[in-house]
Structure 1
């Protein structure tokens, strides 16, 4: 059984390896890491069913409104993101991943998806449920600690 420090090391190694993988995609597409992160957040919002707005993106990436606009301008100019008016409230702008971006992503990440699928075949559905809970708890813990470090220091 792996102890907590071994799990932390494994998570760190996975983070480093996935960062390297994503950086390679960014290099091939000539995209900055912030642009890649924005694209990932917009794609994830698509799966959650909640429209992504520029202000929600700014909050998710901890960027100013002007920095977010710059990121969106680059992503839109490169054909990766589209800005569309909300059909129910034309004052609201929704961000959508373009078909081009989805196709590029699929082409690049499909081999990794396949490798993950093959690697995970050794795990039962029950194992995968535990792994999913473990990863969700680890993400929540990271977000919580990051939020605490990012908030202004309180006077003692």
Structure 2
């Protein structure tokens, strides 16, 4: 399904009245799926341009988010976050390191621990690639009031948490 079809579905649901209830939930679900597909397609373009697989991209995001929280990522935490085995995580980290995207360094506070860091060049490559998307999103978001943005923030946060809870009910294979 194309994103325009999802937008039309929601607009039709809104035109029929309330977006509450099963029909409204289904229309929102269609839009979320369309957003997920479009973001995935954008991420695939980045991955293809830089020799990265989806798991590589997810790992880089996890490492970046840990750094943003000022809590360096470790290989074992990354394995847990991505549901990977120790050997798969090692292979992933070797690939990211060989591409020049990350470094593994012994922790300054606990020499037994290895921390993962993103290279500045990898940050720059990502920043440059994602600038057109960020400009487009910012242009769209500028049309929303502070109250609307807060509603969207609450919606996205609750939706992410619900997705996480649902994922956790499914046993890994």
User: TM (normalized to structure 2)?
Assistant: 0.84
Counterpart selection for 1:93 from 114, 117, 120 = 114
Distance in 2, Cα, partners of 1:125 & 1:46 = 28
Q: Comparing 57-66 with 86-95, which one deviates more in the overlay?
A: 86-95
Higher Cα Rg, which structure = 2
Q: State the aligned residue count.
A: 152
Counterpart selection for 2:130 from 80, 98, 109 = 109
Post-superposition offset of 1:150: 2.1
Distance in 1, Cα, partners of 2:117 & 2:53 = 19
Post-superposition offset of 1:151: 5.8
Counterpart selection for 1:12 from 14, 33, 38 = 33
User: TM (normalized to structure 1)?
Assistant: 0.93
Post-superposition offset of 1:89: 0.9
Which structure has more RCO (C-alpha within 8 Å, separation ≥ 6)? 1
Match of 1:72 in 2: 93
Post-superposition offset of 1:30: 1.2
Counterpart selection for 2:51 from 5, 26, 30 = 30
SS in 1 for 2:128: helix
Distance in 1, Cα, partners of 2:34 & 2:70 = 31
Distance in 2, Cα, partners of 1:13 & 1:63 = 27
